[in-house]
Structure 1
Amino acid sequence: MDIDAYRRKRLKELVDKESDGNVAAFARLHNQDAARLRQVLNPNYRGGKGFREGVARRLEADLKLPPLYFDLGIEQVIDSKHASLHDNSMISAPKGGLTEELLTARRDNLTEDSPQTFGKHQNVEVAPIGQRKIPVISYVQAGMMTEVVDPFELGDGLETITTHLDLSDGAFGLRIKGESMLPEFREGDVIIIDPAEHPLPGDFVVAKNGDEEATFKKYRPRGTNDRGEMVFELVPLNDDFPTLNSERDHMSIIGVMVEHRKYRRR
């Protein structure tokens, strides 16, 4: 069983337990999009790869589940010195999937003497080391992307960065420009975008208009139009900039932000 199938199994067990298998009722209970949950639970969605890292982590947060809830118990158990919990249960690692460093990411109920932490009263821990290289591309390159475009090669980017996230082949980085997303996103910050992720309300996305110009904004769905197409707004965090509308401004989503890297500025 691969990691996506295992995550679907864990989610289905949760739906069965809380809503007797009724996805719509489960969605209402947790203020989620039922159609999106059905997609995630569908083993044929995106070739069985619809429950990737970013989806799992966001859904855990939305459902107020412990971090890595959907990954607990798969295949092999990580050495207890890295992942021993107070209840002696284990976090286990998917073969060929997430790195051990990611799965041993600490949470509040880890033992205080775990070697990954820095002492009983410290609030820091060892961070996972990036294993996957992805290109950081320009906004012009991002604006040229379509759903069927070949992934950018590392040499096509302005630079490369590494990440420990389990992302699709088309993932790329962008360096923030301008002030429309202040104060959360400052010029020079780096964001990692995965085109394989489906945007949920409140997600941050990269989108493009009919002139192949890319922009980074907050995603806010507004329902469907007469043609059954999703209408959405792209909202800046800085009120001095206008909100974009997918119908009026002919916008389409390129990908969803899965990581934000801030840099200290003096």
Structure 2
Amino acid sequence: MTLKDRIRTAREYAGFTQKELADRVDISQTAIHKLECGRSRSSRRTVAIALACGVNPIWLETGEGDMILGGSRGAHQASDIGAPYYTGAMDFLQAPVISWGDAKFWPDDKESMETDTPLGHAPVPHFASNRSFALKVQGDSMSTEFSEGDIIVVDPEMEPKNNHYVVVFLPMENDVTFKQLAVDGGRRYLKPVNPRYPIMPMEEAAKICGVVVSKYKEYE
């Protein structure tokens, strides 16, 4: 089943016309029509469409997993997608997308964050905690596994282990970075996926802000 088929299936499951769905996710009916006929092969509103129709955002975007995650069906206005919350229909947590600079403050020192307005939201896997947050990938040090612009969901409650992808605050550089954790003989290293970048020893004062539990791609 292609994206166009999944969007049509989700809309029909929710009982919406193309116009009703378009109004709920704040895009034009023409945009919905183009998605359903395959003239548009992607949309940055995929998550909003999934939430509006009461289906699994991961299934809608990738075709993986179940269309319905459980619970009764229901729909949500796009305007409802504000602060993190569980959708009643799917028991699906939405994590706020925050800036890299604010990652070192999340979640225990939110008053020090530069902004209290999320840059967006991303669905959180069922196994992750309700303290999860999301970031938009910058640069190419983690390609080809992660591309610039991908959304990564980070769980600060998950215990970091060897080979986990982690977000780390480096106080000596006053910088937040995203790398793969490598543990060798009790020493920890931060390893880029892209071989063009060097492996870095992890300084003792470094703070692991969380473990990456999922990624999503947005299309313009």
Which TM-score tier does this pair reach, normalised by the shorter chain? 0.5 to 0.7
Distance 1:164 1:245, change over 3 A: closer
Indicate conservation of the 8 Å contact 1:144/1:212, yes or no.
no
Indicate conservation of the 8 Å contact 1:220/1:232, yes or no.
yes
2:190 to 223, 234, 245: 234
Indicate conservation of the 8 Å contact 2:154/2:212, yes or no.
yes
Q: Which has the higher contact order (CA 8 A, sep 6+)?
A: 2
Which of the pair has more CA radius of gyration?
A: 1
* Farther off after superposition, 174-183 or 250-259: 250-259
Aligned counterparts of 2:202 and 2:110: Cα–Cα separation in 1: 24
Aligned counterparts of 1:240 and 1:123: Cα–Cα separation in 2: 32
- 2:166 maps to a residue whose letter is V
Aligned counterparts of 2:119 and 2:64: Cα–Cα separation in 1: 35
2:174 is the alignment partner of 1:212 = yes
Indicate conservation of the 8 Å contact 2:125/2:214, yes or no.
no
Q: State the match for 1:180 in structure 2.
A: 141
2:131 to 170, 176, 190: 170
Distance 1:189 1:123, change over 3 A: closer
Shift of 1:240: 1.2
Matches within 5 A, 1:99-248: 126=67, 128=69, 131-145=92-106, 148-149=108-109, 155-210=116-171, 211-224=173-186, 231-247=187-203
**RMSD of aligned alpha carbons:** 3.4
Shift of 1:124: 7.7
Helix, strand or coil for the counterpart of 1:217? Answer: strand
Q: State the match for 1:261 in structure 2.
A: 216
Indicate conservation of the 8 Å contact 1:130/1:162, yes or no.
no
Aligned counterparts of 1:150 and 1:169: Cα–Cα separation in 2: 15
- 1:221 maps to a residue whose letter is V
Q: State the match for 2:79 in structure 1.
A: none
Q: State the match for 1:251 in structure 2.
A: 206
Using structure 2 for the length normalisation, give the TM-score. Answer: 0.53
- 1:252 maps to a residue whose letter is K
Aligned counterparts of 2:148 and 2:198: Cα–Cα separation in 1: 18
Indicate conservation of the 8 Å contact 1:150/1:170, yes or no.
no
Aligned counterparts of 1:137 and 1:124: Cα–Cα separation in 2: 27
Q: Which runs of 5+ in 2 are unaligned?
A: 1-54, 57-62, 70-89
